[in-house]
């Protein structure tokens, strides 16, 4: 029985890495198109990862290695709990949303710890910004999760998906439009895309947390970002777009990612305390409005 | 049997007074042996519930004052985990006191704290509860400020607030005694329940006196300022006891008296206003808990002193526990008690780690520390696991209790309470990482280059606590089974739980599988790490100045440690509505002093004033007599 | 005009009030002590007047008076007179001590004015 | 044990007080010996009176063979005897301290002390209202002299204030007696209490106000306690002990005897037709106000003796407050608190004096580093504070507990006052613990030498502390004392019967 779990675990992890890198490659080409210039082939990100893992790298102490590994492990562990379309690693815990939300924080904690151990002040300033931004976008995201839990009387993503099958009209996107808008903005913050990427602002803090990472550590960061894209878009897809078959699920993820990229291409960077204020006002009010409508 | 334990505690405390100053640590060995004994007895009684014992003291005119104890499941659970954690703390403080020739008094009063701890948890009637409550307040006064000048200002918030609360509770007990002619808690809240319909004003007044008594002790909204002061100033191992155990007495009081009262009201809703399925009163109290946790989290984000930060996080966690207790559903109460126990475990771990840091560096301000992880790996690991548990991240026990609270809140349809709890738990992650980074990661200052790991005796409690956190995290059933027996004593239906999975209406979690997935993915990452080219170790400073000697640039390692104003922009967001309750209490005290001065001034300055007072008094008496006749 | 008990009571009460007024409003310590003795005298008048019975003889048993039954002799009640005696003695005692202390106080403060006696440092 | 022993208790101290003046002029030691021997004699005879009162109830001593309603008589009930013994213990402590100090005016002071002893015993035993006035006057005069012994600015000012207020009080008292005599025609306490009920309503109010006004000064109640701040700060240490310990016992006894037994306060609480105007609210307001005001004054004063003075005044008004609830429990609570206050107050004065021995200025900071300097007396100080403040299992804890229980039957005026009492107790706890905290402040670098305490202080300190511990450890002993005193206070008829049993009631 354990063998099947390990086998399913590997499938989930590898698909998340593979698809994540694919989305990044397509995303890069998409951004280049918007800026009317040409980007490398869509498989460019695979090459980068293989290149990074083959170069030698420097590290300051054992906590840096331990932290980066822990960060990546956290994100993979969360992906395991995400129902990729109909496929589930654990039959009895089909995508418990609360576990996913809390497991993500392990990813952040691991990465933050590894980067902070590098001793570079730019890295820690980046992490401080990332964390305060996190408290910003978590509120609207949590509100929409609560709304859906109240709607389906269960906190399993699987049940949320079940409630949406049938014609695409009864997707949650249409049933709770405001909540969908709020969580889309939250997704923007989660992925750390353009308007809310104060934490890796290259100009101010030399790309923040990644300042000390080199070689395979940067590779780990890359992979973590890739599976993070796969995870977050997967959650929103499951919650609001009724993740159907595997292929349908992937396409929905890609569409969501491209939407965030298109917003990113247009907006310039927010100061992160204004970003937090923005998160606490507009998306939260949207989802609150939806909640009030639902409760009334 | 309980009486013998208490008596032996008092006797040993006098015995410990005669140990000479040089062998100070021998006192603590005595203390931990005593704790081990009590632990053994407690373990013996684990299923002999409802065994009671009474010692008759004084019977003045039919009022028989007697101390009587009863082992209730709630009392047993609380006393077991508190004594166990104090045992760990006492091992830690043996080592801490080897060097110091600390005052004889501290260990003397520690015994009284433990005696009152057992007394409170096993008290069967109000009189015993009040006696040990007073004993605990008086003895904790001396331990928090053993003669340090600065610590008096800190401890007097705690002392004045808790004595005020205790005496208001005495007023409430008086009223209940008026009604029921007996001190038993059981008849107390049934009488109060019937009183709600007859004379609502009096019953609300009585409940408020009890709320004052319990909420001052467990530091909720209007009285939330004393933990930050008391913890910062108390001796380090005592602040572990203070925040791990002493702050729980208020919650124990709630569970003992207020929760059964509200359950009664909930089951037979007569005139009481029922909102959202629970009485309005307890709904307000759960809101008080939620607001405390949010405010405490934001204050913790701003604090730069590591022990103040930990104290504020205790206040926040107590806020969660109160919110979930006052939802009155079986999941709510189970979640609350579970949160209290897990919080006690990981908060003791965090505070012991902080005490170890202070033992080595004698420094409390976080920006003066840094990079201690490279020198003190064991303390770093304890602190890390404590942080993971405090933030409620899955493999550790913090997650299990948070999960329970969410189930209670969500199934009970309290959306806004869930948001408040969620806000404070994400906020918790912010200030916990701040502590982790500023103390353990970042740059190691020159003066701490020769800092060594804490001696082995101090490491034992850390190992045990780490193992405990993981164990209760992966197998939550260990703690949930006794909690179920407590729920049965509240005649609520128990929570469905096996040793490693927790079920609820919304979803179920198998924490063993969660732990296995995490370790599996960690192994996967480790394999990936081995595939990559081996890394080269480089000194951090060589990196920035590209090999040149940083001393020429006048750069010391401290300059590179970013810790002072960690979340400064985030704090500026709240500048406009920053109310300072400490200011309020200080000004209140100043006014009382001025008024007292005015009275004294008017007397002793000269007889002229006193004659005015004399005439005024005479007129008052005559007027009074004339009006009242 | 025969002065009966009622008017005596009122007079003594008025003198008492005068004494009280004097004790309160005076600044000079000696004047306060004088008003204290005024109160004493008011009291004594009051006490004696309680024993007075209208139209009765002074309570001295001379040889001619036969002692048949207490009600028949028309004498005023002797007991308050005895009380007044002790009250006067006590009044004298208190005033003597008062004046002794005022002299001592004068040596310290060099003034008898009550207002200027309270000096700050003793608080 | 014949019936005339109580008279000796008063006569011998007066006789020897004058003898000590004469003998003292030859040699100071003689007057000290007289003082100690008289106090020992009084204690021994007091104890055997106590036994006889236990055996056969109240003892009536008739003086000059005038049967009770006429002449002066001494009546020793259970309350007065137990108060007497407490009084003698505190007086023994004070006189021991006085003897240990060599003072050139020793003979004069010992004669005043003996007068003090005689008058306080007289107050406790007398059965006649005018006789009570005479003893009160002697008592206050000896008080004035004792306060002014220290011959400092502050002490003389304090004694003068005390003189003014007590003489006004005494005059009010005389007015009361005159008025009472005018109506009832008798001076004997028991006869007054016998037909006090059928006095007209208006005159009852007058008598009441006069007597209340007279003893408020002695009881240190709010409008008349302005003498505390100077006399406590100014007077000598053993005088403070006398003031705080003895004068509060005596004042308390006068209040109990006059209001509870003679005027029958408890009876008219329940069905108050005899004194219709609401005396309970009047008492509660005055005493509640005085508790909170004394506490505030104590909180803000810096001089330690002044703090202890004001706090003794506030605990006295707390006792009066619980007495004025008029319930049986209330009076019992008052007795319990009274026992612990009367013994712990002198202990506090004693130990604080020793702790601040070296220091010039007697303010708060002289307590710093007290524990290392003088460990014995700091522990005694802590014991004293714990008993006064109501540490669990001490008599005052049971007293306060009983007070809270008895007064909160239903929401009434008393609960409002109790809320004030709660605040005042917290304030009291605050400033005592502030003092105790200062004891433990120590800075390592300066070496502190232990102060040498002379034997008398140690002996009396340990004596008082052991009495307190004895009371709290053996609760049954305290319990039957308190129950018997409450019984004795409440049975007005028993008091009258024991007084007038030997003579027939005059048919006037």
Structural domains present in chain C: 1-54+76-110 (1.10.287.3510)
Mean pLDDT, chain D, whole residue set: 81
Q: Testing the interface with B: which of C17, C22, C35, C118 to mutate, by most B Cβ within 10 A?
A: C118
Would you state the pLDDT for residue B610? 59
Q: Domain map of chain D by residue range?
A: 1-127, 315-485
Contact yes or no for B152 and D281 at CB 8 A: no
> In this structure, are residues C59 and C76 in contact, taking their beta carbons and an 8 Å threshold?
yes
Chain center to CA of B313? 10
Overall average pLDDT of the B601-612 stretch: 59
Overall average pLDDT of the B252-277 stretch: 78
Closest-CA distance, A9 to chain B, in angstroms, reads: 8
Q: Write the pLDDT tens digit of every residue in D336-385.
A: 888 888 888 888 888 888 888 767 677 777 777 777 778 888 888 888 88
Q: Write the pLDDT tens digit of every residue in D225-275.
A: 778 877 888 778 777 777 777 888 888 888 888 877 777 665 555 434 444
DSSP code for D357:
S
CA distance B489 to B78: 14
- Exposure pattern of D148-162 as b/e (b: 16+ CB <10 Å)? bbbebbbbbbbbbbb
Contact yes or no for A154 and B507 at CB 8 A: yes
Q: Max CA-CA distance within chain B? A: 100
CA distance B494 to B492: 6
Rounding to the nearest 10 degrees, give the CA dihedral for residues D279, D284, D285, D287.
120
Per-window interface: B 466-525 vs A, CB < 8 A:
505-510, 513-514, 517-518, 520-522, 524-525
Q: Which residue in the block uniquely carries the two structure tokens 């208006």? A: D202
CA distance D109 to D91: 14
CA distance D53 to D481: 13
Which is it for the CA torsion A138, A144, A149, A155, positive or negative?
negative
Contact yes or no for C80 and D178 at CB 8 A: yes
Q: A touches which chains (3+ CB pairs under 8 A)?
A: B
Closest-CA distance, B233 to chain A, in angstroms, reads: 28
Q: Testing the interface with B: which of D440, D443, D444, D489 to mutate, by most B Cβ within 10 A?
A: D440
Taking the Cβ of residue C119 and every Cβ of chain D, the question of whether any pair is shorter than 8 Å is answered with yes
Beta pairing class for B536-537 and A58-59: parallel
CA distance A231 to B611: 84
> What is the per-residue DSSP string for B552-609?
TTT--GGGG---TTTTHHHHHTTSTT---HHHHHHHHHHHHHHHHHHHHHHHHS-HHH
Quick one: angle between helices B511-531 and A97-117, nearest 10?
A: 40
CA distance D339 to B60: 15
Contact yes or no for C43 and D151 at CB 8 A: no
Instruction: Name the pLDDT band for B539 (thresholds 50, 70, 90).
Output: confident
> Which among B600, B607, B614 is the nearest to C114, CB-wise?
B607
Q: D touches which chains (3+ CB pairs under 8 A)?
A: B, C
User: Could you tell me which residue, A172 or D460, shows the higher pLDDT?
Assistant: D460
Phi, psi of D342 (to 5 degrees): -60, -30
Phi, psi of B191 (to 5 degrees): -60, -45
Bridge partners of B601, per DSSP, are none
DSSP code for B123:
B
DSSP code for D275:
S
CA distance C90 to D134: 8
Overall average pLDDT of the B103-108 stretch: 68
Phi, psi of C18 (to 5 degrees): -60, -45
Percentage with pLDDT > 90 across chain B: 4
Residue whose C-alpha is closest to residue D193's, from D401, D493, D508, D503: D493
Does D95 score more than 80 pLDDT? yes
Using a CB-CB distance cutoff of 8 angstroms, which residues of chain C are in contact with residue D154?
A: 122
> In this structure, are residues D190 and D127 in contact, taking their beta carbons and an 8 Å threshold?
yes
B592-to-A201, D288, D308 alpha-carbon distances in Å = 54, 17, 18
Give residues with Cβ within 8 angstroms of D48, minimum separation 6.
D1, D5
Closest-CA distance, B267 to chain D, in angstroms, reads: 27
Q: Which residue in the block uniquely carries the two structure tokens 């942080």? A: B387
Overall average pLDDT of the B519-539 stretch: 84
SS3 B231: helix
Using a CB-CB distance cutoff of 8 angstroms, which residues of chain B are in contact with residue A219?
A: 532
Question: What are the mean pLDDT values of chain C's consecutive 10-residue runs (123 residues total)?
Answer: 71 87 84 90 87 75 65 74 88 91 86 69 46
DSSP code for A194:
G
Please tell me the total number of residues recorded for chain D in this structure.
508
Instruction: Name the pLDDT band for D5 (thresholds 50, 70, 90).
Output: confident
CA distance D502 to D190: 13
Mean pLDDT, chain A, whole residue set: 84
Chain center to CA of B592? 30
Taking the Cβ of residue D299 and every Cβ of chain B, the question of whether any pair is shorter than 8 Å is answered with yes
Contact yes or no for D163 and C29 at CB 8 A: no
CA distance D299 to D314: 11
Q: Write the pLDDT tens digit of every residue in A9-62.
A: 888 888 888 988 998 888 888 888 888 888 888 888 888 888 888 888 888 888
Residue whose C-alpha is closest to residue B321's, from B372, B255, B272: B255
Q: Write the pLDDT tens digit of every residue in C34-59.
A: 999 999 999 898 888 887 777 777 77
Would you state the pLDDT for residue C65? 65
User: Could you tell me which residue, A198 or D287, shows the higher pLDDT?
Assistant: D287
Quick one: angle between helices B377-391 and B330-361, nearest 10?
A: 160
Q: Write the pLDDT tens digit of every residue in D285-338.
A: 788 888 888 888 888 888 888 888 888 888 888 888 888 877 778 888 888 888
Burial of residue B267, with CB atoms counted within 10 A of its CB: 0-12 exposed, 13-18 middle, 19 or more buried: exposed
CA distance B424 to C103: 74
Q: Domain map of chain A by residue range?
A: 2-295
Would you state the pLDDT for residue C95? 92
CA distance B271 to B100: 61
Provide the token pair at B451: 């800092």
Q: Write the pLDDT tens digit of every residue in D163-222.
A: 888 888 888 888 888 888 888 878 888 888 877 777 777 777 778 778 888 888 777 787
DSSP code for D411:
S
Cα within 13 Å of Cα(D228), Cβ side: 38
Say what the pTM is: 0.84
Per-window interface: B 60-89 vs D, CB < 8 A:
60-61, 63, 65
Q: Domain map of chain B by residue range?
A: 39-369+377-437+464-519, 585-628
**Using DSSP, how many helices (H) and how many strands (E) does chain A show?**
12, 1
Give one word for B455, left, alpha or beta, with left for phi > 0 and alpha for psi -120 to 50. beta
Rounding to the nearest 10 degrees, give the CA dihedral for residues C38, C39, C45, C47.
-160
Complex ipTM value: 0.78
CA distance B33 to D287: 51
SS3 content of chain C, % helix, strand, coil (to 5): 65, 5, 30
- Exposure pattern of B346-367 as b/e (b: 16+ CB <10 Å)? bbbbbbbbbbbbbbbbebbebb
Helix ranges restricted to H, B440-510: 456-474, 477-489
């Amino acid at each position: 029985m354990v063998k099947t779990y390990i086998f399913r675990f590997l499938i989930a992890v590898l698909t998340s890495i593979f698809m994540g890198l694919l989305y990044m490659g397509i995303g890069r080409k998409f951004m280049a198109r918007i800026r009317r210039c040409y980007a490398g082939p869509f498989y460019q990100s695979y090459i980068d990862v293989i290149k990074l893992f083959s170069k030698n790298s420097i590290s300051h102490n054992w906590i840096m290695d331990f932290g980066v590994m822990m960060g990546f492990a956290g994100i993979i562990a969360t992906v395991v709990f995400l129902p990729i379309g109909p496929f589930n690693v654990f039959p009895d815990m089909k995508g418990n949303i609360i576990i996913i939300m809390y497991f993500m924080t392990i990813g952040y904690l691991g990465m933050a710890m590894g980067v902070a151990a590098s001793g570079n002040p730019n890295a820690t300033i980046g992490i401080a910004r990332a964390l305060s931004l996190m408290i910003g976008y978590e509120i609207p995201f949590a509100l929409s999760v609560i709304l859906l839990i109240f709607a389906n009387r269960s906190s399993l993503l699987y049940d949320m998906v079940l409630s949406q099958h049938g014609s695409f009209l009864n997707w949650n996107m249409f049933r709770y439009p405001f909540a969908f808008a709020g969580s889309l903005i939250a997704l923007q913050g989660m992925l750390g895309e353009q308007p809310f990427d104060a934490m890796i602002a290259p100009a101010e803090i030399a790309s923040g947390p990644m300042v000390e990472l080199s070689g395979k550590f940067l590779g780990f960061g890359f992979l973590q970002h890739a599976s993070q894209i796969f995870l977050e878009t997967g959650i929103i897809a499951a919650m609001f777009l009724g993740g159907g078959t595997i292929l349908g699920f992937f396409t929905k993820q890609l569409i969501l990612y491209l939407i965030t990229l298109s917003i990113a291409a247009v907006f310039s960077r927010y100061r992160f305390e204004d970003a937090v204020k923005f998160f606490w006002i507009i998306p939260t009010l949207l989802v609150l409005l939806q909640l009030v409508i639902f409760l009334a | 049997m309980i009486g013998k334990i208490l008596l032996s505690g008092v006797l040993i405390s006098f015995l410990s007074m005669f140990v000479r100053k040089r062998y100070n640590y021998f006192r603590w060995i005595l203390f931990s042996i005593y704790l081990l004994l009590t632990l053994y007895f407690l373990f013996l009684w684990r299923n002999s519930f409802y065994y009671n014992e009474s010692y008759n003291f004084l019977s003045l005119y039919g009022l028989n004052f007697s101390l009587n104890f009863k082992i209730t499941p709630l009392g047993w659970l609380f006393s077991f985990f508190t004594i166990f954690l104090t045992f760990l703390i006492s091992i830690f403080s043996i080592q801490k006191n080897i060097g110091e020739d600390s005052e004889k008094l501290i260990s003397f009063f520690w015994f009284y704290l433990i005696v009152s701890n057992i007394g409170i948890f096993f008290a069967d009637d109000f009189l015993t509860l009040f006696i040990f409550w007073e004993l605990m307040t008086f003895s904790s006064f001396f331990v928090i400020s053993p003669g340090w000048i600065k610590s008096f200002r800190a401890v007097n918030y705690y002392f004045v607030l808790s004595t005020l609360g205790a005496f208001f509770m005495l007023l409430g007990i008086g009223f209940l005694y008026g009604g029921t002619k007996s001190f038993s808690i059981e008849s107390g809240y049934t009488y109060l329940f019937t009183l709600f319909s007859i004379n609502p004003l009096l019953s609300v007044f009585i409940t408020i006196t009890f709320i004052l008594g319990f909420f001052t002790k467990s530091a909720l909204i209007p009285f939330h300022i004393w933990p930050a002061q008391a913890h910062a100033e108390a001796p380090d191992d005592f602040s572990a006891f203070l925040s791990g155990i002493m702050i729980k007495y208020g919650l124990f009081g709630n569970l003992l008296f207020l929760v059964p009262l509200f359950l009664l009201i909930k089951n037979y809703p007569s005139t009481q206003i029922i909102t959202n399925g629970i009485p309005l009163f307890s709904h307000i109290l759960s809101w008080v808990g939620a607001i405390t946790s949010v405010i405490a989290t934001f204050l913790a984000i701003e604090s730069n002193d590591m022990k103040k930060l930990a104290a504020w996080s205790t206040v926040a966690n107590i806020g969660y526990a109160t919110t979930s207790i006052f939802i009155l559903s079986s999941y709510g109460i189970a979640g609350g008690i579970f949160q209290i126990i897990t919080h006690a475990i990981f908060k003791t771990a965090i505070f012991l780690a902080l005490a170890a840091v202070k033992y080595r560096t004698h420094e409390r301000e976080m920006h003066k520390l840094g990079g201690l992880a490279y020198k003190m790996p064991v303390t770093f690991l304890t602190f890390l696991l404590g942080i993971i548990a405090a933030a409620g991240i899955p493999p550790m026990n913090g997650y299990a209790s948070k999960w329970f609270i969410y189930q209670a809140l969500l199934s009970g349809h309290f959306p806004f309470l869930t948001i408040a709890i969620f806000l404070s738990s994400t906020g918790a992650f912010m200030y916990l990482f701040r502590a982790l980074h500023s103390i353990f990661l970042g740059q190691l200052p020159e003066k701490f280059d020769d800092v060594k790991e804490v001696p082995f005796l101090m490491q034992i409690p850390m190992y045990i606590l780490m193992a405990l956190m993981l164990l209760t995290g992966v197998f939550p059933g260990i703690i949930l089974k006794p909690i179920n027996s407590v729920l049965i004593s509240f005649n609520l239906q128990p929570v469905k739980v096996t040793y490693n999975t927790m079920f609820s209406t919304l979803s179920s979690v198998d924490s063993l599988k969660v732990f296995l997935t995490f370790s599996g993915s960690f192994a996967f990452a480790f394999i990936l790490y081995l595939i990559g080219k081996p890394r080269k170790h480089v000194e951090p400073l060589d990196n920035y100045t590209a090999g040149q000697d940083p001393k020429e640039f006048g750069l010391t390692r401290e300059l590179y440690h970013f810790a002072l104003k960690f979340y400064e922009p985030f704090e500026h967001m709240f500048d406009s509505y920053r109310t300072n309750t400490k200011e309020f209490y200080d000004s209140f005290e100043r006014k009382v002093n001025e008024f007292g001065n005015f009275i004294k001034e008017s007397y002793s300055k000269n007889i002229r004033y006193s004659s005015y007072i004399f005439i005024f008094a005479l007129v008052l008496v005559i007027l009074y007599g004339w009006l009242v006749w | 005009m025969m002065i009966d008990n009622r008017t005596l009571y009122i007079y003594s009460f008025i003198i008492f009030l005068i004494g009280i007024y004097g004790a309160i409003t005076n600044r000079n310590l000696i004047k306060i002590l004088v008003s204290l003795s005024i109160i004493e005298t008011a009291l004594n008048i009051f006490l004696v007047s309680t024993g007075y019975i209208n139209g009765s003889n002074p309570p001295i048993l001379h040889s001619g008076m036969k002692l048949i039954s207490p009600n028949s002799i028309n004498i005023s009640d002797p007991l308050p007179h005895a009380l007044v005696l002790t009250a006067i003695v006590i009044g004298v005692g208190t005033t003597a001590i008062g004046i002794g202390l005022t002299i001592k106080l004068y040596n310290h403060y060099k003034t008898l004015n009550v207002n200027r006696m309270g000096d700050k440092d003793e608080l | 044990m014949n019936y005339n022993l109580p008279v000796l208790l008063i006569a011998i101290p007066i006789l020897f007080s004058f003898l000590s003046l004469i003998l003292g002029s030859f040699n100071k030691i003689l007057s000290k010996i007289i003082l100690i021997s008289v106090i020992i004699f009084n204690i021994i005879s007091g104890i055997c009176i106590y036994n006889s009162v236990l055996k056969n109830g109240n003892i009536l001593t008739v003086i000059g063979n005038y049967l009770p309603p006429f002449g002066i008589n001494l009546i020793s009930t259970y309350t007065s005897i137990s108060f007497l013994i407490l009084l003698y213990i505190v007086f023994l402590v004070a006189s021991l301290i006085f003897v240990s100090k060599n003072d050139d005016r020793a003979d004069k002071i010992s004669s005043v002390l003996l007068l003090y002893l005689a008058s306080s015993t007289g107050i406790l035993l007398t059965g006649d209202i005018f006789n009570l006035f005479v003893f009160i006057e002697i008592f206050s005069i000896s008080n004035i002299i004792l306060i002014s012994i220290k011959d400092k600015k502050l002490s003389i000012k304090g004694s003068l204030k005390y003189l003014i207020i007590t003489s006004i009080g005494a005059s009010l008292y005389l007015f009361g007696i005159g008025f009472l005599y005018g109506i009832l025609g008798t001076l004997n306490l028991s006869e007054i209490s016998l037909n006090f009920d059928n006095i007209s309503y208006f005159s009852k109010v007058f008598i009441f106000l006069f007597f209340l006004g007279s003893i408020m000064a002695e009881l240190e109640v709010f409008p008349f306690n302005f003498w505390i701040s100077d006399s406590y700060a100014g007077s000598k240490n053993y005088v403070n002990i006398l003031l705080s310990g003895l004068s509060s016992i005596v004042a308390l006894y006068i209040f109990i005897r006059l209001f509870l037994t003679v005027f029958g306060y408890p009876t008219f609480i329940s069905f108050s037709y005899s004194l219709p105007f609401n005396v309970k609210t009047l008492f509660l307001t005055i005493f509640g106000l005085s508790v909170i005001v004394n506490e505030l004054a104590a909180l803000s004063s810096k001089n330690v003796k002044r703090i202890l003075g004001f706090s003794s005044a506030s605990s006295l008004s707390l006792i009066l407050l619980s007495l004025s609830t008029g319930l049986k429990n209330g009076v019992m609570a008052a007795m319990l608190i009274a026992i612990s206050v009367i013994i712990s107050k002198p202990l506090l004065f004693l130990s604080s004096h020793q702790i601040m021995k070296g220091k010039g200025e007697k303010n708060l900071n002289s307590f710093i580093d007290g524990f290392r300097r003088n460990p014995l007396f700091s522990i005694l100080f802590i014991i004293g504070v714990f008993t006064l403040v109501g540490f669990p299992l001490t008599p005052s804890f049971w007293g306060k507990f009983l007070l809270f229980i008895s007064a909160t039957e239903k929401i009434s005026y008393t609960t409002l006052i109790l809320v004030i009492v709660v605040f005042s107790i917290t304030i009291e706890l605050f400033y005592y613990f502030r003092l105790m905290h200062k004891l433990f402040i120590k800075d390592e670098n300066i070496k502190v030498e232990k102060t040498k305490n002379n034997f008398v202080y140690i002996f009396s300190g340990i004596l008082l502390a052991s009495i307190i511990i004895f009371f709290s450890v053996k609760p049954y002993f305290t319990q039957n004392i308190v129950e018997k005193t409450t019984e004795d206070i409440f049975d007005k008829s028993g008091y009258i019967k024991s007084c007038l049993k030997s003579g027939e009631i005059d048919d006037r």
